[in-house]
């Protein structure tokens, strides 16, 4: 597998890189970002996976999240993939898209689509769970025994569900303003119907609350949610996650942050706190 270096830029005491490769999961070129703190030759560092939200590429968190200093200070690699395949594909054909911001390119929801025309390329679950970790392990100084995962909005949904479906892989899991139950919100209804079909039984493996209800567990969880988030009541429904973890007796810290909205201003305010929380568990 050939990995193309798109750019590498010095940032704090580390390097922010952007890389591209041909993906077997999506059948398209995929671009991702990696921040690597300075480290001793031969040393391997813990890795934090960051999954972004609706409309985002690899670039949004890289330029708006303000994670670099915390990662440099704490010696944590951060990897940020794209949120969907994009066209043209490896055969030169267009990747399907939708005019709306909450479906199609930029809105992969970290699922393996089963419905046409999405099933050919929209395999973001396979990409973030299998293909990208193997590529990162091959090309970067990561200790794959020390992985954490986090994300924002749709990416928070991705972080929660990826971690819940892969018990023991991640030492730490956190999220910012996650979509906690796609089964119970308009974003989820639209995306999962489009990608997976109308049978809601097939949706449960992509719903954090349903996974917890069905027996999946995390050893620990940190969630921050802005109390002034205009998506809170209709789309995010944090109270459903609070209910699910309480009924499961799962260890979780869910914090409502007064005055904060859904933006990267909110994420950047608390990202260093999250990285420190992850680092404590990744280095234990």
Q: Is 190 left (phi over 0), alpha (psi -120 to 50) or beta?
A: alpha
The yes-or-no answer on residue 23 being catalytic is: no
Concatenating the DSSP letter of every residue in 228-283 gives: T-TTIIIII-HHHHHHHHHHHT---EEEEETT--SSHHHHHHHHHHHHHHHHHHH-
SS3 88: coil
d(CA 126, CA 14): 29
Q: Give the chain's largest Cα–Cα span.
A: 52
Catalytic residue among 121, 163, 229, 278: 229
Catalytic residue among 68, 152, 262, 274: 262
Kind and range of the H or E run holding 160: helix 154-165
DSSP letter for 205, please: G
The yes-or-no answer on residue 93 being catalytic is: no
SS3 content of the chain, % helix, strand, coil (to 5): 35, 25, 40
Catalytic residue among 25, 52, 84, 153: 153
CA 229 to chain CA mean position, Å: 19
Q: Provide the pairing of β-strand 14-22 with 77-81.
A: unpaired
The yes-or-no answer on residue 116 being catalytic is: no
**Which are the catalytic amino acids?**
153, 229, 262
């Amino acid at each position: 597998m050939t990995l193309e270096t798109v750019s590498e830029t010095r940032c704090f005491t580390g390097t922010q890189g952007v890389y591209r490769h041909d993906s077997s999961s999506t059948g398209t070129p995929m671009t991702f970002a990696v921040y690597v703190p300075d480290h001793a030759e031969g040393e391997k560092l813990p890795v934090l996976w960051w999954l972004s939200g609706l409309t985002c590429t690899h670039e949004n968190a890289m330029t708006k999240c303000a994670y670099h200093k915390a990662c440099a200070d704490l010696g944590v690699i951060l990897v940020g993939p794209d949120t969907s395949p994009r066209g043209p594909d490896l055969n030169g054909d267009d990747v399907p898209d939708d005019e709306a911001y909450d479906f199609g390119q930029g809105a992969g929801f970290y699922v393996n689509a089963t419905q046409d025309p999405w099933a050919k390329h929209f395999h973001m679950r396979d990409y973030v769970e299998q293909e990208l970790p193997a590529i990162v392990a091959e090309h970067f100084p990561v200790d794959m025994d020390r992985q954490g995962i986090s994300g924002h909005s749709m990416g928070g949904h991705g972080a929660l569900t990826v971690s819940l479906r892969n018990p023991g892989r991640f030492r730490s899991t956190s999220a910012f303003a996650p979509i906690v139950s796609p089964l119970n919100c308009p974003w989820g209804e639209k995306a999962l119907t489009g990608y997976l079909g109308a049978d809601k039984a097939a949706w449960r493996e992509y719903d954090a609350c349903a996974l917890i209800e069905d027996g999946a567990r995390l050893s620990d969880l940190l969630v921050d949610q802005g109390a002034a988030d205009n998506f809170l009541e209709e789309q995010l429904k944090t109270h459903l996650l609070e209910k699910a973890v309480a009924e499961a007796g799962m260890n979780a810290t869910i914090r409502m942050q007064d005055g904060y909205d859904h933006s990267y201003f909110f994420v950047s305010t608390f990202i260093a706190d999250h990285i420190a929380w992850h680092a404590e568990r990744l280095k234990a």
